[in-house]
Amino acid sequence: MEIPYSEQLVNAFWLAAGGSILAAEHALLDSVAFNIGGGFHHAYPDHGEGFCMVHDVAVAIRRMQKDGKIAKAMTVDCDVHQGNGTAAIFPPTKAGVNRLPSALPGSANVASDGGEQVFTISLHQQNNYPAIKPPSSIDVNLADGTNDTQYCNGWTTRSVPDCAISLRT
């Protein structure tokens, strides 16, 4: 990890995980909620990485599944860095990758047979941290210099809704 370890730090990360569980519970009741103190997508099950010690979103998803409140989930990670911890915790169930019909040429691959419990999408700058990127269900590798119009109109408005529909099955 790239931050100094302390008991206070550990407590802060577990509080963030609790906030994500609370946000997930509220999302089920109110259709939307978020935890502005979370999003630690570089944390792995057995170690922290970057500035992420505990993967709060994964903790919340597994808690909701354990409690029988959800069966499936989808994460859409829009950080400039690939969600490597998310991809490692929720690996795609299909070994190969296939093109999405709505994907832009050269921009996205899908590695899913629709059977996973957590479908992961990571939209990130290709030439950025982490150097090794475990596969998400969908990785959108954005080129350096991608502008807002390319980002919003090019991929997210066409393919993310397709992924949401696939979760309903």
**Alpha-carbon distance values, 125 to 82, 116, 131, 143 (Å):** 7, 25, 11, 6
CA distance 164 to 141: 20
Percent of the chain with pLDDT over 90: 46
pTM, rounded to two decimals: 0.80
CA distance 140 to 35: 24
Residue 160: predicted pLDDT? 62
Single-letter amino acid code for the residue at 129: Y
DSSP sequence for 82-148: --HHHHHHS--S-SS-B--TTPPTTTEEE---S--SEEEEEEEESSSS-SS----SEEEEEPTT--H
Cis peptide before 91 (omega within 30 of 0): no
Please indicate whether residue 154 or residue 49 has the higher confidence score (pLDDT).
49
Contacts of residue 154, Cβ cutoff 8 Å, sequence gap at least 6 = 104, 107
- What is the per-residue burial (b if ≥16 Cβ within 10 Å, else e) of 16-35? bbbbbbebbbebeeeeeeeb
Find residue 119's DSSP bridge partners.
74
Q: What is the pLDDT of residues 83-124, one digit of tens each?
A: 999 999 999 876 544 444 334 444 444 444 444 789 898 888
Please indicate whether residue 20 or residue 158 has the higher confidence score (pLDDT).
20
Q: What is the pLDDT of residues 60-79, one digit of tens each?
A: 999 999 999 999 998 989 88
